[in-house]
Amino acid sequence: MKYDVVIVGAGVAGLESAIVLASKGFKVAVVESKPAEKIGDKTCGDAIGIHHFEKISLEIPSKVIDYKYRGVKIYSPSEKHGLIVPGEGVSVNRVRFGQWLLEEALKKRVELYDSYVLTDVIIKNDMVEEVRVKKVNGPVVELKANAFIDASGARPALRSKLPDTWPISDKPFTTDFNIAYREVIRSVNPMPEEDSKYALIYLNAEVAPGGYWWLFPKSDDRVVLNIGLGVVWNGVYNPRHNYEKYLKPRFRGDLIHAGGGIVPTRRPLPTLVWRNVGVVGDAAYTVNPVHGGGIGSSLEAAYIVSTYIGNGLEAGGVDEKKVWEANIKYMQAYGAKQAGLDILRMYLQKLSNDDFEWILKNKIVDGSSVYDLGVKGELGEKILHTVSAMIKLLGKPSLLNQLRIMRSYMNRLISLHSTEYPKSPEELPKWMSLVENIVEEYARTIGFDRGQKVKW
Ligand SMILES: Cc1cc2nc3c(=O)[nH]c(=O)nc-3n(C[C@H](O)[C@H](O)[C@H](O)COP(=O)(O)OP(=O)(O)OC[C@H]3O[C@@H](n4cnc5c(N)ncnc54)[C@H](O)[C@@H]3O)c2cc1C
Establish whether residue 294 lines the binding site of ligand 1, counting it when its CB lies within 6 angstroms of any ligand atom. Answer: yes
Per-residue pLDDT, averaged over 110-128, amounts to 98
408 and 280, same structural domain?
A: no
Which of 30, 42, 72, when mutated, tests ligand 1's pocket best, judged by the most ligand atoms within 8 Å of its CB?
42
End position of a domain, from candidates 220, 236, 264: 264
380 and 359, same structural domain?
A: yes
Q: Is the predicted pLDDT of residue 388 greater than 90, yes or no?
A: no
Q: Is the predicted pLDDT of residue 374 greater than 80, yes or no?
A: no
- What's the distance, Cα to Cα, between the start and end of the chain in Å? 28
Pairing of strands 177-187, 224-232: antiparallel
301 and 230, same structural domain?
A: no
Residue 59 lies in a domain: no
Confidence of residue 371 (pLDDT cuts 50, 70, 90): confident
Which of 263, 286, 299, when mutated, tests ligand 1's pocket best, judged by the most ligand atoms within 8 Å of its CB?
263
72 and 108, same structural domain?
A: no
Residue 231 lies in a domain: yes
pLDDT greater at residue 338 or residue 395: 338
Give the distance (Å) from ligand 1 centre to CA of residue 42: 6
Confidence of residue 379 (pLDDT cuts 50, 70, 90): confident
355 and 416, same structural domain?
A: yes
Confidence of residue 291 (pLDDT cuts 50, 70, 90): very high
Q: In this predicted structure, what is the pLDDT of residue 274?
A: 98
305 and 160, same structural domain?
A: yes
User: For residues 330 and 372, what is the distance between their CA atoms, to the nearest angstrom?
Assistant: 20
CA dihedral 60, 61, 63, 66 (to 10 degrees): 40
Helix (H, G, I), strand (E, B) or coil at 215: strand
Residue 52 lies in a domain: no
Q: How many alpha carbons lie under 13 Å from residue 152 in its C-beta half-sphere?
A: 23
Confidence of residue 436 (pLDDT cuts 50, 70, 90): very high
Tens digit of each residue's pLDDT (9 = 90 or more) over 40-80? 999 999 999 999 999 999 999 999 999 999 999 999 999 99
Domain tally, the chain: 3
User: For residues 224 and 219, what is the distance between their CA atoms, to the nearest angstrom?
Assistant: 5
In terms of residue numbers, what domain contains 362?
338-446
Residue 252 lies in a domain: yes
**Across 243-247, 284-288, 388-392, least confident range:** 388-392
Closest among 394, 409, 396 to 439, alpha carbons compared: 409
Confidence of residue 331 (pLDDT cuts 50, 70, 90): very high
Tens digit of each residue's pLDDT (9 = 90 or more) over 88-104? 999 999 999 999 999 99
Mean pLDDT, the chain, rounded, equals 96
User: For residues 16 and 204, what is the distance between their CA atoms, to the nearest angstrom?
Assistant: 35
Tens digit of each residue's pLDDT (9 = 90 or more) over 231-255? 999 999 999 999 999 999 999 999 9
Residue 305 lies in a domain: yes
CATH number where 6 lies: 3.50.50.60
254 and 152, same structural domain?
A: no
Residue 452 lies in a domain: no
Residue 455 lies in a domain: no
pLDDT greater at residue 261 or residue 385: 261
245 and 142, same structural domain?
A: no
CATH number where 208 lies: 3.30.9.90
Helix axes 12-23, 94-107, angle to 10 degrees: 20
347 and 315, same structural domain?
A: no
End position of a domain, from candidates 264, 291, 309: 264
Give DSSP secondary structure letters for 382-427: HHHHHHHHHHHHHT-HHHHHHHHHHHHHHHHHHHHHTTTS-SSGGG
319 and 289, same structural domain?
A: yes
Q: In this predicted structure, what is the pLDDT of residue 139?
A: 94
Residue 313 lies in a domain: yes
Tens digit of each residue's pLDDT (9 = 90 or more) over 155-164? 999 999 999 9
Which residue's alpha carbon is at the smallest distance from atom 29 of ligand 1? 11
Residue 95's H or E segment, with its range, is helix 94-107
197 and 256, same structural domain?
A: yes
